[in-house]
Amino acid sequence: MPRFLKLALNVLTASLFLISLPQQAFAVPPQSASCQSPEYHQFDFWLGDWEVQNPSGKIVGHNLVTRELDGCLIVEHWNDAANKNLGSSFNYFDTRDKKWHQLYISNSGNAGDFPAMAGEFHDGKMQLTTDSHDGPVSRWTWYVVSPGHVRQMAEQIQPDKSWKITWDSIYVKK
């Protein structure tokens, strides 16, 4: 069989094969919509590039908070003002328990310094707490103070069941 006839036959065979495939085989998959429901946007107020100040206005660090993995994950990139203490947190909404979760890892090398937290967005505040099995319970709260300003506060439960503030900061959007 002449070479050009073999080539034409191969092209015809390949064309017939492609025509026989279902149309869905060529469809471009849509962007994941699995993390687009309102619950996944409850922490959006924390997204951005921030200068972090203590209550008296002194800069204590910088934080870049981004949305990743098609909106399924919020990642925090923290560094203190001296660039010595670095950390990243991974924040996500879990549809199984309908709660937000955070795992924070720092360059301290001790993952136990920051136990995992879980909680909810309620009344304009994101509030996450540690589990009592990990030691004294800590409660972290984030909320908008004014446009471009977010307060982040940590409290620890005391023996008398009161809460003591252990971290207090204002995020100022750059």
Residues contacting 60, CB < 8 A, separation 6+? 52, 53, 54, 80, 81, 169
Domain borders along the chain are 38-173
8 A C-beta contact, residue 59 and residue 51: yes
Q: What is the pLDDT of residue 28?
A: 45
Global pTM value = 0.79
CB atoms near residue 126 (< 10 Å)? 21
8 A C-beta contact, residue 90 and residue 75: yes
CB atoms near residue 138 (< 10 Å)? 20
Q: Which of 3-7, 24-28, 108-112, 142-146 has the highest mean pLDDT?
A: 142-146
Give residue-wise pLDDT tens across range 73-83.
999 999 999 99
* Section 130-137 average pLDDT: 89
Q: What is the pLDDT of residue 29?
A: 47
The mean pLDDT of the chain is 87
3-state secondary structure of 107: coil
Amino acid 83 reads: N
8 A C-beta contact, residue 110 and residue 124: no
Fold of the 38-173 domain: Lipocalin (2.40.128)
Give residue-wise pLDDT tens across range 43-54.
999 999 999 999
Is it the case that residue 62 has pLDDT exceeding 50?
yes
